[in-house]
Amino acid sequence: MAGGSSVLLDPGGRNGAGDALGQRGVAGEGERPVDDDLLAERGVPCEVYRVPTNFPPQDTGARQLAGLGAPDLRGTYGEFSYFTEAPFDAADLSGGAVYQVAASNDRVDAQLIGPPNTLREGEPNSVVDFHVYLDREHRAATIAVQGQRIVLRQGEWSGWVPLRFEMIPHLRSVAGMCRFYLKQVAPALKLYVTPVNVDPMDPALPITAPRGFARDLADRFGRFYTQGFPQDVKALRHGVLDDAEYLHQSGLAFDEARRMYEAALDDFQRGLLFYYFSATDRTQHMFWRTMDPRHPAYDARNAREYGDVIPDCYRSADRLVGSALEAMDPDTTLIVLSDHGFSPFYREFNLNTWLADNGFLVGFDRWRKGTDIFPNADWRRTLAYGLGFNALYVNLDGREAEGCVRPAERDMIVQYLLDELPRVRDPETGARIIENVYAARDVYSSTIPERAPDLIVGYARGYRCADSSVLGEVTQHLVSDNEDKWSGDHCIDRAAVPGILVTSKPITAEKPDLPDIAATVLAEFGVEPEDGMTGRAIW
């Protein structure tokens, strides 16, 4: 299974006026499968919706809506708020904030936290006050905020609610927006609030290029999720939203994107159209556990209700592709692609614990919970450390702040790890944990970035780096079951999660790769790749 993306191309015009190039995408994170900047420079009309890693979008002539990497109004990747009268253990909560509230005469007073106010000393967070009036008998509530009154029944979502965060009273404010979800009224209030998004009606951050494109979209479609990661997986992982509530929230984001996509197809005449959908990726991350009895988080009763969520998501994606096919004329080129597939995530492996056990990380107590390598390791004797999902670094003198490995010794350490890591076995099952390890010199271009990891760890199917190790922690257990709702993943060995590529033209390339897509798109318009581009046309 795949993350997903598609591309539609048209160098001339529709309806027999020449070739038509359009592109729609459900691509994977962190990749740019098209070079819209280069095409725009050649006068090719381009529209690029939600392509990852293009925040802030540069005004090159292409109309762009920022995708993965675009923050919420506070500058985070999305932090929800949860207001509750019921007890809630928020000790390990990340990606959101829980506020314990108390009603007085069936009224709750609370605040929404906005961006830091850089115009005030100490840069305190800006806030918006709001009030919740509870009607417990009728399972309803009224939310009053900045002159707006939103009446919700228990289990109901609001539309987008515009907000103004004051920086200088009556002189300067910043626009945001949020949705409210009244999860419960009685016996205790439970109110979920989405991250405060940048308001496309008055964007405080550059979420589109040109800047006015955001307002154009909002005028046509209404307000919409502007953060690059709209699905609130953190709220699901921490039990703030249950499976049904998360699917509804994810569906709201999907429906917004689908409406824009269908309109873009209707409007498209010539040039490049790219559209990215993330639903296939997020759904597999969160619901693999519902269809795989081998998963530690599998529950048979839950599976009966949600076991078809992933297949249903792919059916929705198929309908999106069908819409593109219906909109195409014979001269249009369509590319549907994903930069990765998917795998079950059964067990998590703490790479830093292994490095500590084998003498590469030195000088701290791994048995103390939450041991962070950065303040605790003896960097004068530490040879290597893990950071991120697949990256392993040598503690290199001259690169790391307290590096102790001389450049002449780096290759020796890299080679030892290349040999030893694939031999690591799960102490409980005996299964292989790491399928392959790749040296930087073999996987990066000839000009290796100085800060690139020295090794890339390719985990075996069913395994992945533990979240704790990703953030630089050493834990007591080397390997443990993944009982999290984040139950599927693709941050493993590339051979285990190949992406998909479907096109409307026969593919002649023997082993097409992601960089080839940009080269293929350029070739469709007769544009030569720039120096340094490694891709080749796939037909």
Regarding whether 446 and 350 lie in a shared domain, the answer is yes
Report whether pLDDT(21) > 60. Answer: no
Question: What does the mean pLDDT of the chain come to?
Answer: 91
84, 191 Cβ separation under 8 angstroms: yes
Q: What is the pLDDT of residue 534?
A: 85
Report whether pLDDT(438) > 90. Answer: yes
Report whether pLDDT(18) > 90. Answer: no
Q: Which letter does DSSP use for residue 400 in this model?
A: B
Instruction: Categorize the per-residue pLDDT at 3 as very low, low, confident or very high, splitting at 50, 70 and 90.
Output: low
Q: What is the pLDDT of residue 30?
A: 39
Q: What is the pLDDT of residue 29?
A: 37
Report whether pLDDT(17) > 80. Answer: no
299, 292 Cβ separation under 8 angstroms: no
Regarding whether 363 and 409 lie in a shared domain, the answer is yes
Axis-axis angle for helices 213-221, 243-267 (nearest 10)? 110
Regarding whether 370 and 275 lie in a shared domain, the answer is no
Question: What percent of the chain has a predicted confidence (pLDDT) above 70?
Answer: 92
Nearest residue to 134 (alpha-carbon basis) of 158, 155, 105: 105
Regarding whether 352 and 420 lie in a shared domain, the answer is yes
Lowest mean pLDDT among 33-37, 380-384, 408-412: 33-37
Lowest mean pLDDT among 67-71, 371-375, 496-500, 515-519: 371-375
Question: What percent of the chain has a predicted confidence (pLDDT) above 90?
Answer: 79
Q: What is the pLDDT of residue 161?
A: 98
Regarding whether 491 and 353 lie in a shared domain, the answer is yes
- pLDDT tens digit string along 460-486? 999 999 999 999 999 989 999 999 999
Q: What is the pLDDT of residue 1?
A: 57
- Please state the domain count of the chain: 3
441, 448 Cβ separation under 8 angstroms: yes
- pLDDT tens digit string along 414-436? 999 999 999 999 999 999 999 99
Regarding whether 226 and 256 lie in a shared domain, the answer is yes
Q: What is the pLDDT of residue 8?
A: 55
Regarding whether 297 and 323 lie in a shared domain, the answer is yes
Report whether pLDDT(6) > 60. Answer: no
Burial class (CB in 10 A: 0-12, 13-18, 19+), 314: middle
Regarding whether 450 and 507 lie in a shared domain, the answer is no
Report whether pLDDT(368) > 70. Answer: no
Gyration radius of the chain's alpha carbons:
25
In Å, what is the CA distance from 244 to each residue of 80, 155, 249, 277, 313?
A: 17, 11, 9, 21, 14
Cα 506 to Cα 64: distance, rounded to the nearest angstrom: 29
- pLDDT tens digit string along 314-356? 999 999 999 999 999 988 999 999 989 999 999 999 999 999 9
Q: Which letter does DSSP use for residue 323 in this model?
A: H
Choose one of 204, 236, 254: the last residue of a domain.
204
Regarding whether 515 and 446 lie in a shared domain, the answer is no
Nearest residue to 260 (alpha-carbon basis) of 222, 305, 287: 222
Instruction: Categorize the per-residue pLDDT at 35 as very low, low, confident or very high, splitting at 50, 70 and 90.
Output: low
Choose one of 140, 169, 204: the last residue of a domain.
204
Report whether pLDDT(19) > 90. Answer: no
- pLDDT tens digit string along 219-269? 999 999 999 999 999 999 999 999 999 999 999 999 999 999 999 999 998
Instruction: Categorize the per-residue pLDDT at 15 as very low, low, confident or very high, splitting at 50, 70 and 90.
Output: very low
Cα 60 to Cα 57: distance, rounded to the nearest angstrom: 9
Instruction: Categorize the per-residue pLDDT at 369 as very low, low, confident or very high, splitting at 50, 70 and 90.
Output: low
Choose one of 186, 204, 222: the last residue of a domain.
204
Question: E-strand spans in 3-55?
Answer: 6-11, 20-21, 46-51
Instruction: Categorize the per-residue pLDDT at 215 as very low, low, confident or very high, splitting at 50, 70 and 90.
Output: very high
Laid out side by side, the sheet with 156-157 consists of 96-100, 80-84, 190-193, 180-184, 156-157
Q: Distance from CA of residue 359 to its chain's centroid?
A: 34
The 3 state secondary structure assigned to 86-133 is: CCCCCCCCCCEEEEECCCECCEEEEEEEEEECCCCCCCCEEEEEEEEE
Instruction: Categorize the per-residue pLDDT at 4 as very low, low, confident or very high, splitting at 50, 70 and 90.
Output: very low
Q: What is the pLDDT of residue 192?
A: 98
Instruction: Please give the residue range of the domain that contains residue 251.
Output: 1-70+206-342+497-539
Regarding whether 506 and 435 lie in a shared domain, the answer is no
- pLDDT tens digit string along 105-125? 999 999 999 999 988 888 899
Regarding whether 328 and 282 lie in a shared domain, the answer is yes
Report whether pLDDT(36) > 80. Answer: no
What residue spans of 129-242 are helical by DSSP H? 213-221, 233-237
Regarding whether 490 and 505 lie in a shared domain, the answer is no
